[in-house]
Structure 1
Amino acid sequence: MIFKIKHFIAADGERFSQLYNGDSTGFPLYYPTSYIARSVRPSVTHETQKVHLEAIKRVCEWEALQNISIAVRFQGREYLRQFEIDGLVRHITASRRSGKGEVISRNKANTYIAYAANYLRWLADETITELNSDIKTAIDKQHEALLSSVARKSGSSPANKQRILAMRLPDEAAQALRKLFEEPLHCVQKNGDKGPRIRNILMLRILYETGMRRGELLSLKLGNFMEAISGESAQLRIERNHHDEFDSRAQQPVAKTLGRTVNISTEAEQQLIAYRDHWRPNSDCHFLFINHRAGRTQGRPVTMTGFYSALNNLKEVFPALAPLYPHLLRHDWNYRFSQKADMERMDFESERTIREMLMGWTPNSEMSLLYNQRHIQERANEIGREIASDTINRGDKKCPAILHRQ
C-alpha cells in the first residue's frame, strides 16, 4: 500500500499537510490528521509538521506490510512486542533512495524514531478508553522500548565536530564557481536560456557571499534588495515569513534562522540590478527569483524542486561543480569567515557575536560555539608549547644528551 503526504495552503496563507492512502482519493487518514492538528500543529512550524508526518507515514507503511492495525491492537489492549518494535525501527530507518539494506543518517533516524514513538503513545491514549495503572505501565514500556533504539546523537561526536569544521568547497569547485560569477553566460547558446542561467548563477552567488540558507534565498522579495547608497554596500534583508499569504508554493521555503540584513559585493549588486531590470520576466510576483519558461508556472516563484533541478543542470554542464550543494556553501562561508577572523586577530567573543549575527543564530548557539572552538584549540596548543619550552628554560638542558650514543 502506498501512502502520500499532500500539502495545502489555507485561505489565510497557513501551510498544512495531511497523510493519505495513495490507493484512494478522499479523506486523509483519521488518526494521523487528528494527531498533527491537535498535538503538533499548535507548537511547531509547518516544516517540522512534515517531518512528523514522514515518521508517521513510515509507521503506516509498516502496518500495511504486516497486515495489522495498531489502533485495533491498542483497542484490544495488545501492544507491540519487541520483535515487532525491532522490525518497525528497521522500516523507519531504511533509506528510500539507496540500495537494499542502506539506512538514513543517524540524526534523521533518531528524529523519526522519537516522533513515531510519540505518535504511538498518543494513539494508545486516544484509542484506549479506560486507562488504569497497568495499561499506562504497558504503554510506557512500549514507548521506552521504541526510544531505546535512538542512538547517541552523532552531533556529540568529536570526530563529527571536526568534520563540520573542515567542510568547505573543494578548490576546483570553488574556482569553477568563481569563474561562473565572472562569466555567467559561459557556454550558453540560446537566447531563451540566458535569463535562467543568470538567475541560477546569481542564486549561487548570493549563497556563496552571504552563507544564507536555500529557504531564505528562495524567500527573498524584490523589496528585500536594497541598492548601495552613500558609500554603504548593497544589502539583502532576510525575513521570517512562515505562512506568507502571497506565496503560492504549498511547500513554502522559509527562513529557519533569525531575520537579519546581510551585505553583498558590488559585482553581485550590479548583476542583481541587471537581472531585475532586464532578464527577469514581467510579473506581478513579489519574489525576486521566479520561473522564466513559458507555461502555467511562468512568473511564479522558484520552488525548492526547481532550484535543485537548475543546480543539477549546471553540474551536467560544469562537472567541477559536482561536489556542490547549497548547505556546503554555508559551511564554506563559515570556513572563510574563520580565516578572516584569524587575519583580523579577532578575539573569541567578537568572532562568536559577529558570526551569530550574520548567520541568524541565537546568542551562544551550538553551531557558533562549535566553529569558534578553533580559537580554544589553537590557544591550548600555544599554551602547551609554552609549557613544553618552559622545561628547557628552567635549565633542564642535560636531557637531550641521552638521545646520543655514548
Structure 2
Amino acid sequence: MKLSARRFTSSDGERFILLVDESGMPMFYPALYVTVHMRGRSLALNTIQNALNALKALYAWQSCYRVDIESRLSNSELLQAHEIHSLRDFMQKPLAEETDSNVVPISRRSKTVSASNQYARMSVIADYLGFLAYQLQTSSSGNGNASAQRMISQIKANRPKVSSKSSIDRDEKRLDDAVLDELEDVLRPGAEKNPVREYAVQVRNALMFSILRMTGLRRGELLNLKIEDIDFAKNTLRVIRRPDSKEDARAYQPVAKTRERTFPLMPELINNIHRYVLSYRNGVSGAKRHGYLFVTHKLGPSQGKPLSNAGFGKFMDALRTVSEGASGVHAHSLRHHWNYSFSKTCEDKGISPEREEKIRSYLMGWSETSSTAATYNRRHIKEQAGQAVLELQNKHLGKPKTGDAE
C-alpha cells in the first residue's frame, strides 16, 4: 500500500494535510488523529506533516509484516515485545520517493535515518497507537487501559538515545565571509558566472540573498514578505504572521514561525527593493494580483504568482554549485551566520551578554524567556574560559625553573 501526505486549502484559506491511499482517499484514523489530536492543539502544518511521515512508516511496517494494527486493537490485542523490537528496527529505514511522486513504503538502500529521526518517529507512533487503542478497544476496563499504557511505555523505552550535546554548538555554525562575498559577486546582476540568464531573475535572486544575509530571516519569512511590509520612507522591513491567508494560493504556504518584528535596513538595500518592485516585479504578468514581494518570473501557469518553497529551493541548490566552498550554504545556515556576526558586533561594541540576549531575541522573533538566544550567547562564556585557560598556562610556563641559568 502506497500512502502520501496531501495538502488541501479550504475556501477561507485554511490549510489541511491528510494521509491518503493510492486512490486519493483519506485514511480514517490518521485523519481523525490529525483533526482531533493535533489540529486541536493548533500545531503547525509542518509539524503535522512530520507526524504523518511517521505514520507512513508505521503503515509500511504493518504492510511488510502483515500486521493489522486496527483489527488487533479492536480485539484488545496489543503489540508484543518482539513486534515492538521489529518496529524499532524498521523505523531506522528511510522512506523513498518514486518518480510518480507516490510513496514507496521503505527505501531498499542500506542507509539508515538519524537517531533523532528514529526517535521522533517512534514518539509519534507511540502517541498514535495510544490514541487508536482508546478509540478501538471495546473494553473500558482499567486493565485494558493499563495494558495499552504498558505498550506505549515499551515503545518509548525502545527509542534510541539521543544526545542533547551537539558536536558543533549552534553558535559556532557559521559560514566563511569570503565565500559569502564571492557568492554576492556571482549573484550580481549581469555577472558572468551568474547561474541564471534572465536579468530580472538575477535582480530578484541577488535581493533575496542580501536580505537573508543582512537580517537572518527564515526562508518562510522571506517568502511571506509583502510590498506593504517595506516602509520605503522609514527604511524598515516588518515580519508579519499571515497563517492561512486567502490571498496566498501556495499549497505549501510559507509562514513566519515566530513573533512579528521590525528591521531597520540600509538605504542601499531599501533602494534595491524599490528598484526590483518598480522595474521588474510589476512588469510580470499576474504579479499585481497579490502583494507578495518575490514572484515567479518564468513563463507558464505559475508566472506572477508568489515564489514557492520549491522555486526558492532551486535557487539555493544552484547557488551551492557556483562557488567552491558554498556547499554548506542554505537559508538556515545564513541565519546561523547572522547570529555569529551579531555576536561579534555586540562584543566589539561592549554590549553585555544579558543585553545582547534581549536584542537578539527581538530581532529573531523569540520570546525573551526563550533559551534559544542564550545558545548563541555561550560564545562569550567559551571565549572567556579559553582566555582564562591560556592565562593559567602562561603563568605556569612563565615561572623560572629551578636550576635555570641566571
Q: TM-score when scaled to structure 2? A: 0.88
Residue of structure 2 equivalent to 1:274? 275
Query: How far apart are residue 400 of structure 1 and its match?
Result: 4.0
Task: Please say if 1:293 is aligned against 2:295.
Answer: no
Query: How far apart are residue 192 of structure 1 and its match?
Result: 6.6
Query: How far apart are residue 225 of structure 1 and its match?
Result: 1.4
Task: Please say if 1:245 is aligned against 2:243.
Answer: no
Change (3 A) 1:211 1:66: same
Count of paired positions: 391
Residue of structure 2 equivalent to 1:21? 21
* CA deviation map 1:44-81 (0-9, x unaligned): 12222212211112111111122221010111222112
- 1:3-402 matches, cutoff 5 A: 3-22=3-22, 24-25=23-24, 27-43=25-41, 44-96=43-95, 100-154=109-163, 156-157=164-165, 159-160=166-167, 162-180=168-186, 183-187=188-192, 193-229=198-234, 234-280=235-281, 281-282=284-285, 283=287, 284-381=289-386, 400-402=400-402
Alpha-carbon distance in 1 for matches of 2:204, 2:252:
21
Change (3 A) 1:318 1:191: closer
Amino acid at match of 1:291: T
Alpha-carbon distance in 2 for matches of 1:209, 1:295:
32
Q: Secondary structure at the match of 1:93?
A: coil
Alpha-carbon distance in 1 for matches of 2:269, 2:112:
40
Alpha-carbon distance in 1 for matches of 2:241, 2:365:
11
* CA deviation map 1:260-289 (0-9, x unaligned): 111233332222111101111142121111
Amino acid at match of 1:168: R
Alpha-carbon distance in 1 for matches of 2:5, 2:84:
24
Q: TM-score when scaled to structure 1? A: 0.88
- Identity of matched residues, %: 29
Alpha-carbon distance in 1 for matches of 2:176, 2:390:
32
Tell me whether 286-295 or 164-173 shows the greater mean CA deviation: 164-173
Alpha-carbon distance in 2 for matches of 1:192, 1:391:
62
Alpha-carbon distance in 1 for matches of 2:189, 2:117:
36
Amino acid at match of 1:50: Q
Tell me whether 74-83 or 11-20 shows the greater mean CA deviation: 74-83
**Any stretches of 5+ residues in structure 2 without a counterpart?**
97-106
Amino acid at match of 1:34: L
Amino acid at match of 1:74: L
Q: Is the 8 A contact 2:7 2:15 kept in 1?
A: yes
Alpha-carbon distance in 2 for matches of 1:109, 1:191:
39
Amino acid at match of 2:276: Y
Alpha-carbon distance in 2 for matches of 1:343, 1:315:
31
Query: How far apart are residue 109 of structure 1 and its match?
Result: 2.8
Q: Secondary structure at the match of 2:8?
A: strand
Alpha-carbon distance in 2 for matches of 1:374, 1:317:
31
Alpha-carbon distance in 1 for matches of 2:333, 2:360:
17
Amino acid at match of 1:9: T
Q: Secondary structure at the match of 2:20?
A: strand
Alpha-carbon distance in 2 for matches of 1:64, 1:15:
29
Tell me whether 234-243 or 163-172 shows the greater mean CA deviation: 163-172
Q: Is the 8 A contact 2:224 2:255 kept in 1?
A: yes
Superposition RMSD on alpha carbons, in Å?
2.7
Amino acid at match of 1:227: F
Alpha-carbon distance in 2 for matches of 1:373, 1:74:
49
Report which of the two has the higher share of helix.
1
Change (3 A) 1:221 1:3: same
